[in-house]
């Protein structure tokens, strides 16, 4: 299998498993990631997904050899790797070791949080091949870091280390090599302590508020809050606070 999944508590560890190809994304990987995301979304006991790559490499991006044979690394409606255009309700954390190049970087950008080894390599080298980073790179990167820094990535195609990515604000945690997945899973456990409906609402509001007038953003937020306030989890959260105990979330 090109993509493995493992349930660890309330988290789903999703591993791209093509180390012989530096975990490059072909059609099978795209289908595997899409299936893993479906598993995450469908299982109410799973709260967070962690995406990583096998044997010290996140992903070298699109498998050019497979593409030359006519394979597509995209899935209609879901984007590159079955992920970059997918709307998920549950948080995703990228755990990056080694190369996150081209589409690999774009998979990480599609996640909500990024944990990276200090010596990881992030880059969008598509211009060196006559292409552009069309899996979300040219769209998302200028939204995440200042314009001129994003343009340096996109126009030079040169990579930066995980440590430098953290300095630019692209990475949540920088860790020693080999520790990214473990730290990402620890971070996932912190998220799973929170109400799943609230986590989903945060994601929806952030997405709805991007690039729209403030009044429209607040209107979108009001709609989400109206649904959230009617949930059993909100009542449970308030009751648990009053009773000085940990809440027991049901996702309802």
Active site residues: 106, 126
Q: Which residues contact 41 (CB under 8 A, 6 or more apart)?
A: 88, 89, 90
Q: Which residues contact 9 (CB under 8 A, 6 or more apart)?
A: 189, 192
CA dist 157 → 22, 83, 94, 180 (Å): 19, 22, 21, 24
Q: Closest Cα to residue 163, out of 208, 118, 111?
A: 118
The arrangement of strands across the sheet holding 3-8 comes to 3-8, 11-16, 48-53, 92-96, 113-117, 173-175
| Sign of the Cα pseudo-torsion (217, 218, 219, 222, in order) | positive
- Biggest CA–CA distance in the chain, Å, is 62
Total residues found in the chain within this entry: 252
Q: Which residues contact 55 (CB under 8 A, 6 or more apart)?
A: 19
CA dist 102 → 14, 110, 121, 124 (Å): 19, 13, 11, 4
Task: For residue 30, give the 3-state DSSP assignment.
Answer: helix
């Amino acid at each position: 299998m090109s993509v493995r999944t493992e349930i660890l508590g309330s988290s789903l560890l999703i591993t791209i498993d093509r180390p012989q190809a530096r975990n490059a994304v072909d059609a099978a990987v795209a289908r595997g990631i899409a299936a893993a995301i479906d598993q995450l979304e469908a299982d109410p006991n799973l709260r967070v997904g962690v995406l990583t790559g096998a044997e010290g490499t996140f992903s070298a991006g699109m498998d050019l050899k497979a593409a030359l044979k006519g394979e597509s690394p995209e899935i209609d409606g879901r984007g590159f790797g079955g992920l970059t255009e997918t709307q998920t309700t549950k948080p995703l954390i990228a755990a990056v070791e080694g190369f996150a190049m081209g589409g690999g970087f774009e998979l990480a950008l599609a996640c909500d949080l990024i944990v990276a080894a200090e010596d990881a390599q992030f880059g969008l080298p598509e211009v060196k091949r006559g292409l552009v980073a069309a899996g979300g790179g040219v769209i998302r990167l200028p939204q995440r870091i200042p314009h001129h820094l994003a343009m340096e990535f996109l126009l030079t195609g040169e990579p930066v280390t995980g440590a430098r990515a953290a300095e630019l604000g692209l990475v949540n945690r920088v860790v020693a090599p080999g520790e990214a997945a473990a730290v990402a899973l620890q971070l996932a456990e912190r998220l799973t302590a929170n109400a799943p409906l609230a986590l989903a609402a945060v994601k929806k509001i952030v997405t709805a508020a991007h690039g729209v007038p403030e009044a429209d953003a607040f209107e979108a937020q009001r709609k989400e809050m109206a649904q959230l306030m009617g949930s059993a989890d909100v009542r449970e959260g308030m009751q648990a606070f009053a009773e000085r105990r940990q809440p027991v979330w049901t996702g309802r």
